[in-house]
Amino acid sequence: MSIFLDSSRLEEIEQFHRMGIIRGVTTNPTIMLKEGVTGGMDGIRRRAREIAEMVAPFPVSVEVTTNDASGMIDQAKAFSDLAENIVVKVTIHGPQGELENLEVIHALETVHNIRVNVTAMMSAQQCFLAAMAGATYVSIFGGRVNNMGYDSSNEIARLRNVLEGANLKAEIIVGSTREVLNVIEWLDAGAHIVTVIPDILRGMLVHPYSKETVQMFLRDGAAFEKMLHE
Ligand code: E4P
């Protein structure tokens, strides 16, 4: 069980990596755009390489920006050439439910020797098919599942059970964190990995009562410092 960071911000990744609490990084085009990555496809590749170097040998997921089959394969090759720890993210199907993505995923894993993280999935059944196609990681968006009125923990538990029953190698990444509680609840349900946004990770770490306790220790500790000068 482990935690990845869902971010493309170098300073934030470095901060949490230096603490030793993350075991990988996930990105997507929306995160990169929102977080100010510029320079077109070169900009994505540059940022991906910087993150990959920073956290190596931990995996860094970078997503293709097209749904054209040969375009996905070309981008996947270009991303995976950047560093050994790059994993390529491909969505489970196209924007209108086009089906060629699984064929691409299968080819990337079995012909091109590229590790794939299949993304944008909302159900155990989608993840199972992605795992059957050979995906290294299957990403289910727990927060969005909950928002649709389904129970993400139940979906994760059933998925873990099915993957083990079918002896599939895929690891479950649960993303789309919305609350601090999600991290432990999804790991407890059977996720191999939860990919966490920085704010949630900070929320896990800092507790108001811990702050108050630390303040008490420092206040009382200072009394001892003062004694030395009395
Ligand atoms: C996961 O890999 C995705 O990058 C991400 O968690 C999606 O989260 P959202 O639902 O907050 O967009």
- Write down the pLDDT at residue 57: 98
- Write down the pLDDT at residue 105: 98
DSSP annotation string for the chain: -EEEEE---HHHHHHHHHHT--S-EE--HHHHHHTT--SHHHHHHHHHHHHHHHHTTS-EEEE-S---HHHHHHHHHHHHTT-TTEEEEEESS-TT--SHHHHHHHHHHHTS---EEEEEE-SHHHHHHHHHTT-SEEEEEHHHHHHTT--HHHHHHHHHHHHHHTT--PEEEEE---STHHHHHHHHHT-SEEEE-HHHHHHHH--HHHHHHHHHHHHHHHHHHHHHT-
28, 127, 138, 144: residue to mutate for ligand 1 pocket, most atoms within 8 A of CB:
28
| Whole-angstrom distance, CA of residue 5 vs CA of residue 25 | 5
**Has 211 been annotated as catalytic?**
no
Distance 119 CA to ligand 1 centre (A): 9
119, 141, 172: residue to mutate for ligand 1 pocket, most atoms within 8 A of CB:
141
Beta-carbon contacts of residue 69 (< 8 Å; ≥ 6 apart): 100, 103, 104
Distance 137 CA to ligand 1 centre (A): 14
Domain 2-198 sits in CATH at 3.20.20.70
| Given 34, 89, 169, 211, the catalytic residue | 89
- The minimum-distance atom of ligand 1 relative to the CA of 119 is 2
- Strand-pairing partners, residue 3, are 194
Query: Whose CA is closest to 182, among 144, 208, 214?
Result: 144
Ligand 1 pocket residues where CB is under 6 Å? 6, 26, 28, 119, 139, 141, 143-144, 175-176, 195
For the chain (230 residues), the mean pLDDT of every run of 10, in chain order, is 98 98 98 96 97 98 97 98 98 97 98 98 98 98 98 98 98 97 98 98 96 98 86
The residues spanned by each domain of the chain are 2-198
Query: Whose CA is closest to 3, among 150, 210, 202?
Result: 202
- Write down the pLDDT at residue 150: 97
Distance 154 CA to ligand 1 centre (A): 19
| Whole-angstrom distance, CA of residue 76 vs CA of residue 82 | 10
> Tokens in use for 230?
């009395």
- Write down the pLDDT at residue 225: 86
Own/partner pairs for 40-46, CB < 8 Å, 24+ apart?
Answer: 41/65, 41/75, 45/78, 45/79, 45/82
- Strand-pairing partners, residue 173, are 139, 193
